[in-house]
Chains A and B, each alone.
Chain A
Amino acid sequence: MISYILRRLLVAVPTILVLIVLSFLMMHYAPGGPWTSERAFPQAVIDALNAKYGLDKPLVSQIASYTWNIVAHFDFGPSLYYKDRSVADLIAQGFPVTLTYGFWSFVVAVAVGGSLGVAAAVWHNSWLDYLAVGISIGAQVLPNFVMAPILVLVFTLWLGWLPGGGWQGGAFPYVVMPVIALSTSFMASIARITRSSMLEVLNAGFIRTARAKGLPMRRIVLRHALKPALLPVISYLGPAFVGMITGSVVIDIYFSTGGIGQYFVNSALNRDYFVIMGVTILTGALTVLFNLVVDILYAWIDPKIRY
């Protein structure tokens, strides 16, 4: 197990490094470099800026120092658009927000999707099953940027139950719609995956044995069927994580929650390179680490995996 984890780390670390180098190279070869803006700077200013941020040195040493600053000091450079603030400041400010509703979306998607899928499989071909299948087909075409306006339309404009945006330190009414908008499509996918794998498991021989022994259905499902049925769900958690981190950008923009996505899009609109690179690298690193955790979890649960 330890060697498996080490081997996976051996892949994960280069992946993050590749991401850093690639995004730096993209910035380096961008037409005009990082200092392009509406008002062209005089060459002397550009030279001074380049000297200040070490961009006048050879490319290799630039990449090395950029990488070193990130790894050793968590320093992603300055923000050019949000004056007087570093990228690390923006991340420190926005990330807790994103993490809060991201975490709850994840919990909701897994808990609701998982139980819906299990229920649909256990009561196969009942109204519950049809409802679950209907929901999961419908939610396929409702990505977060479609869900968000619909939710605001219904719950804010028509019913007046929930505030249409803002964060207020994460007070409950402000978290509800972001969580629903972000989790819906993943909830549907998890429900679909759980349902089909649960159906397969329930037809397996060991379940028939358990039934023949006279075990109650509850016990069969919870003790025997659940664990193998959840394996495909675990392998879906990685893509779901990527999707949610990506979707958080829409949530931040639409609900003005003040998360990291808001800074990301504003920076993208204003060519604030260091922020874009910083957020890209950070989310990339998080994704790689999350996938690592998922793989280890998978290997730990599934005895068939050899490591």
Chain B
Amino acid sequence: MAVLIGRARARSMPAGRSLWSDARHRFFKNRAAVASLVILALVAGFAAFGGLVAQWSNEDIDWAVLGDVATMGRPSLSSGHWFGTDELGRDLFARVVQGTQVSLMVGIVGALISVIVGTVYGAIAGYFGGRLDSAMMRIVDILMSIPYMFVLILLLVIFGRSVFMLFVGIGLISWLDMARIARGQTLTIKHREYVEAALAIGVGPFTIIRRHIIPNLLGVVIVYATLLVPNMIIYESFISFLGLGVQEPLTSWGALISDGASTMQYGTLWQLAFPLFFFVVTLFAFFFIGDGLRDALDPKDR
């Protein structure tokens, strides 16, 4: 059978193009998305390898500049503080590298949790339908109508402020939208012929969800996940800006922006400018990539 299909394909479609290669083609025609991809790669490279080229460690205090950060701690090539120093005389380049690592990690892990939980939850609710569906979606409705940030902060206070708790808390909330989207998509997929064919030959419900529903959800899920990453980064930065997120000596963009904002009246503007620049540029990149992916993977939505 497979051989036959392979032969037929080889004969009738010499330039066989799958849906995915079509999508890739569309994506790479979108210049803003491709440029964003490059920028994002640069930011990721900065996070991964910035620590290797930094002249100072992120924890060491440069005693030479400590008394007079506003003039001695300026960004300069000669002192090795390329981004200047922070209020405590620590090298801002190394701090921004570290903050970028934490923020990107939170964004990606948060989005991953939401993809896994949300897709499975939504697919199950949508596929089985009926009472189970309404009960499961009612739970999502209820959770969605709660101001998540307050609950997240409550969680952080009760179980201690740590990066792990931050992951758990953000993960707990982030899957709700994804569950709704996956459910909606499942409702249309489950009446397709291939699902009916699978049903007719007696495939079990969980196998159908795993083999047929979820793979066909992937396009929408990927688009939404790239739009989720910046949102997760914003959540984390919001909490860290309030001083409730990652704790010293760890840092993140939100914490660095907060530090920079609290010292800018002393003329140490670089302390705000560098973290803000990375924050804004990365968010822009993610939004444009998300848009590009949506156009590429979900052509009907244009």
Please give the residue numbers on chain A whose beta carbons come within 8 Å of chain B beta carbons, in ascending order: 11, 14-15, 18-19, 23, 26-27, 30-31, 137, 140-143, 145-146, 148-150, 152-153, 157, 238, 242, 245-246, 249-250, 253-254, 264-265, 268-269, 271, 273, 276-277, 279-280, 283-284, 287-288, 291
* Contact residues in B for A15 (Cβ distance below 8 Å): 142, 145-146
Give A249 to B240 CA distance when docked, in angstroms.
12
A/B interface sample: 22 pairs, CB < 8 A:
A11-B141, A14-B142, A30-B158, A141-B284, A143-B237, A145-B237, A145-B238, A145-B257, A149-B272, A152-B264, A157-B265, A238-B145, A246-B147, A250-B241, A253-B242, A268-B153, A273-B158, A276-B153, A280-B151, A287-B147, A288-B145, A291-B145
Is there contact, CB below 8 Å, between B242 and A249?
yes
State the main secondary structure of chain A at its contact with B: helix
Partner of B264, one of A157, A264, A276: A157
Give A140 to B158 CA distance when docked, in angstroms.
32
Residue of B nearest to A284 (CB): B146
* Contact residues in A for B237 (Cβ distance below 8 Å): 143, 145
* Contact residues in A for B264 (Cβ distance below 8 Å): 149, 152-153, 157
| Given A146-B276, A283-B150, A284-B150, CB of A250 within 8 Å of CB of B238 | yes
Is there contact, CB below 8 Å, between A280 and B145?
no
What 0/1 readout, one digit per residue, does chain B (229-249) give for beta carbons within 8 Å of chain A? 010001001100111100000
Is there contact, CB below 8 Å, between A245 and B147?
yes
Is there contact, CB below 8 Å, between B257 and A250?
no
Is there contact, CB below 8 Å, between A246 and B149?
yes
Residue of A nearest to B238 (CB): A145
Residue of A nearest to B160 (CB): A31
Is there contact, CB below 8 Å, between B234 and A143?
yes
Q: Which of B237-296 contact A (CB under 8 A)?
A: 237-238, 241-244, 254, 257-258, 260-261, 264-265, 269, 272, 276, 279-280, 283-284, 287
Sorted from nearest, which 10 A-B pairs have the closest CB atoms? A149-B261, A141-B283, A30-B158, A280-B150, A246-B149, A145-B241, A141-B280, A283-B147, A15-B142, A268-B157
| Given A30-B158, A246-B147, A280-B151, CB of A140 within 8 Å of CB of B244 | no
Is there contact, CB below 8 Å, between A145 and B258?
yes
Is there contact, CB below 8 Å, between A280 and B154?
yes
| Given A242-B147, A283-B147, CB of A265 within 8 Å of CB of B242 | yes
Q: Looking at the assembled complex, report how far the CB atom of B209 sits from the nearest CB atom of chain A, in whole angstroms.
A: 28
| Given A265-B243, A284-B147, CB of A141 within 8 Å of CB of B287 | yes
Partner of A149, one of B147, B149, B150, B257: B257
- For the complex with contacts A145-B257, A246-B149, A268-B157, 4 further pairs of A-B residues with Cβ separation under 8 Å are A153-B264, A246-B150, A268-B154, A271-B157
Q: Looking at the assembled complex, report how far the CB atom of B228 sits from the nearest CB atom of chain A, in whole angstroms.
A: 14
Residue of A nearest to B279 (CB): A146
Residue of B nearest to A185 (CB): B234
B159 interface hit (Cβ, 8 Å): yes
Residue of A nearest to B138 (CB): A11
| Given A148-B261, A246-B149, A250-B238, CB of A23 within 8 Å of CB of B154 | yes
B156 interface hit (Cβ, 8 Å): yes
* Contact residues in A for B155 (Cβ distance below 8 Å): 26
* Contact residues in B for A11 (Cβ distance below 8 Å): 138, 141-142
Partner of A27, one of B158, B244, B272: B158
* Contact residues in A for B257 (Cβ distance below 8 Å): 145-146, 149
Q: Looking at the assembled complex, report how far the CB atom of B169 sits from the nearest CB atom of chain A, in whole angstroms.
A: 11
Give A153 to B284 CA distance when docked, in angstroms.
22
* Contact residues in A for B241 (Cβ distance below 8 Å): 145, 250
Give A120 to B276 CA distance when docked, in angstroms.
29
Give A192 to B127 CA distance when docked, in angstroms.
33
Is there contact, CB below 8 Å, between B146 and A26?
no
Give A246 to B204 CA distance when docked, in angstroms.
44
Q: Looking at the assembled complex, report how far the CB atom of B107 sits from the nearest CB atom of chain A, in whole angstroms.
A: 13
* Contact residues in A for B283 (Cβ distance below 8 Å): 140-141
Give A146 to B230 CA distance when docked, in angstroms.
14
Q: Looking at the assembled complex, report how far the CB atom of B120 sits from the nearest CB atom of chain A, in whole angstroms.
A: 23
Residue of B nearest to A252 (CB): B242
Is there contact, CB below 8 Å, between A265 and B244?
yes
Listed residue (A146, A150, A268, A284) with the most chain B CB atoms within 10 angstroms of its CB: A146
Is there contact, CB below 8 Å, between A153 and B272?
yes
Q: Looking at the assembled complex, report how far the CB atom of B277 sits from the nearest CB atom of chain A, in whole angstroms.
A: 11
Is there contact, CB below 8 Å, between A268 and B244?
yes
Q: Looking at the assembled complex, report how far the CB atom of A2 sits from the nearest CB atom of chain B, in whole angstroms.
A: 22
Give A18 to B143 CA distance when docked, in angstroms.
10
* Contact residues in B for A149 (Cβ distance below 8 Å): 257, 260-261, 264, 272, 276
| Given A265-B244, A283-B147, CB of A137 within 8 Å of CB of B287 | yes
* Contact residues in B for A269 (Cβ distance below 8 Å): 243-244
* Contact residues in B for A18 (Cβ distance below 8 Å): 142
Give A264 to B242 CA distance when docked, in angstroms.
11
Q: Which of B134-188 contact A (CB under 8 A)?
A: 138, 141-142, 145-151, 153-160
